[in-house]
A and B are shown apart, each in its own frame.
Chain A
Amino acid sequence: MEAVTQQIPLEHFLVLSAILFSLGVYGVLTRRNAVLILMSIELMLNAASVNMVAFAAYTSPEQFIGIIFAIFIITIAAAEAGLALAIILRIFRYRKTANVDEIDELKW
């Protein structure tokens, strides 16, 4: 069986990753709800993971550097999601809202 790497060119993965990343950026910039922003960030992280794995598989398949990084990213994303959700929860409890436009205490 031919390896995936021979059937699908690398560019497809990169385009996928770019689309995912752009979606994430778009989400971060346009959403007002903190939870949705967090989800968009996860999308961007995943885009990066896809990128890593794809490059790893195409350029140096005998090494696992890219894959290891992808696993790191997943781990950190999970930790970060937990932390961020906890913060959002506290903010929601305190402010009765998760709309980031209304959370602007941190200025001058």
Chain B
Amino acid sequence: MQTGYILLATIAVPLLTALALTVIPSRYPNAIRVLAVATGFVLFGLSLYAFFAYQLSSGDQFQFELRWTWIENIGFLGENGITLHLGIDGIGAPMVLLTGIVAFTGTIISWKIDYRNKDYFVLFFVLVAGVFGVFASLDLFFWFFFYELAVLPMYLLIGVWGSSSVFPTFARTKEYSAMKLMLYLVGASVFIFVGIFAVFVEAGIGTFDLPTLYEVEFDENFQKIVFPLFLIGCGVLAGLWPFHTWSPDGHVAAPTAVSMLHAGVLMKLGAFGIIRLGMQLLPEGADFWMPALITLGTVNVVYGAISAMAQTDLKYMIGYSSVSHMGYVLVGLATLNPIGVNGAVLQMFSHGVMTALLFAMVGALYDQAHTRDMSVFGGLAQKMPRFVAFFSIAGLASLGLPGLSGFVAEFNVFVGTFQTYPALGALGILGAAITAVYILRMLSQAFFGPANERWADLKEMSHLEQAAGALLIAFIVFMGVFPSPFVDRIADSVLRIPGVG
């Protein structure tokens, strides 16, 4: 059964939970945790349902549609000017599933939060609601609204529950990282905001409704001018070079579950925006600007990978690897052919799951060891075999090992890139090889080799963390071995993007 109320529920449930949490007295932290995890589970179930109930051969561009009139559409607003219009296509479906997975595992991982955990979960669920809203919105007004809703709690989550780091050569306070992240994302949203209004005015039919606007043929010059607004605005969120520096610092400062959401889902909002707003709305603009994006995306891949190789802090390494992997997403989108774009969306899902796993594992280690410097570890495999196994699986997925999700996604991106820009495709493959270098160096240095006495009292990670990790691994393997449920949904919608099919 398909109904838009599923999507509405993914937004309303976390918001209502946030509201309900505010009335639970904070002297019952366990009640708060139970409610949070239960909500996470419900969200996971809803997103799983939305993903699998998505019908492959329905012929509609969007499914699970729901339209609620929110304000009176009079004056400069025409018919359906601003409505709460929800719906997902084959690109949105895996993203909703991804959000459900990461939100659920994130709540499990956050069980350990002691300091003001009520406030933490309230902000966490507001953030989750915003993310679900962006993926499900088919109205520019609400798209932007949810976008901001997803971004704003990040500041407090990092600023209050984050951690500052001091390194031999530099230091990053959590306030600095939170502020930089916030300024970048809000600054970027100005571009999106301007772009949205430009589209609204240019279309001249007084509506923010995306499917209606998709029907409008915009002037070519207009598209060329406005597309970069969306490209930069959303690109910043996707970690586009050279606007990426908020991302590694933000990852490092954020608490574990926020890093998971941040790298796993929030960065995908950017890539998703490039598709939803940029490519679907302004295909000719996309056509004009994509050579620039593919160049920058390749820089992302190689630059991120090489930078990651030099990191000694586990989280920084993963942060830079995110920059590198989001590069594959950008490259895939920029190919503007179905294989590459399909690969990009696959990579969005794949990177979301595996980077969430990586951050969950780093968090599990950090909570015990209180350091993330990989050079001081060694031989952890003997103390924490499961932890090392989970970490290795995530690492192997990120270096593109066949049988895990990363390979399917990257392979599609490579094939797509080779169709248009073989030289950049070769660089991308080289980037995957560099990924192997830093992942394996890290595994060898931190986890294998003789046991270090200093870490004699480290224990295996908790059962909760194991459960969260196992769930993420299940999806990494599922997509790696059996990608067609994903590909069938994505490809169907990718082929409908004008200028791609």
**Is A in direct contact with B (CB under 8 Å) within the complex?**
no
